[in-house]
Amino acid sequence: MTAPAAGPIGSVSLVVPVFNERDNILPLMAEVRRAMQQLGLPWEIVLVDDGSTDGGTALLDRLAAEDDSVRVVHFEANAGQTAAFDAGFRAARGDAIVTLDADLQNDPADIPAMMRRLEESKSDMVIGVRVNRQDTWARKVQSRIGNGVRNWITGDQITDTGCSLKLVKREAIDRVGLYTGMHRFLPTLVRLRGYKVIEMPVNHRARRFGVSKYGAMNRAMRGLVDCLAVRWMSKRMLNYRVKEDA
């Protein structure tokens, strides 16, 4: 299947799931503003409050009231990261969408370089590969094993599917349907729709505030099931070219 030609990028939406990250929000916003000023395009940030219970909801609403570039989507209850990304994609208005975590481990300063890489390579999606990862040895080993298993099952070649820092054109994201857990396979799902996906190295930082919401055991089995689902979809994708349309 060949993807339709994508139009020029005139604006950017950042989609950020937020779950109990109150202490990280103001530093994140300061870094985002610096990065987007360097980019020089109209932009917005969609903060998806995934049922936070740490008192950060009021802070998000205050930021939205003070700055028109900040928009907030509130969930009634915690629904998970895939749901938060999906809601953010639906709310976003930009020609391109950047995804990143709210925990400050992704570096917004990488966004302008990702945009240049997207344009120079004539790609539809750029996914980050974390270099000098500031994680424990155990987590890095788990990630390496997980990426290998995912690629083996899905037939893809994604170096770092766990990196949330991604840039994707609106046309591509609009053609992808998400299910629970599928945000980790977003590059594969975009590629299956006929779009060009590339990788580039990005910065990675240690968490400063709060705690990680993920562990090895709460992802391993679900990740395996998700891999098998993606493999099933890839084998059953419609693949045709129209010779004539009269």
Domain-wise residue ranges, the chain: 12-235
Three-state DSSP at 70 gives strand
Q: Find residue 14's DSSP bridge partners.
A: 45, 98
Distances (CA, A) of 81 to 34, 49, 224: 26, 10, 17
- Residues of the chain under the 70 pLDDT cut: 1-7, 133-157, 159, 210-225, 227-233, 235-246
Structure tokens at 192: 């299956």
Give the homologous superfamily in CATH for domain 12-235. Answer: Spore Coat Polysaccharide Biosynthesis Protein SpsA; Chain A (3.90.550.10)
Do 193 and 176 touch, CB atoms closer than 8 A?
A: yes
Q: Count other C-beta atoms under 10 Å from residue 177's C-beta.
A: 9
Query: pTM of the full predicted structure?
Result: 0.80
pLDDT in tens, 90-140: 999 999 999 999 999 999 999 999 999 999 999 999 999 988 765 555 565
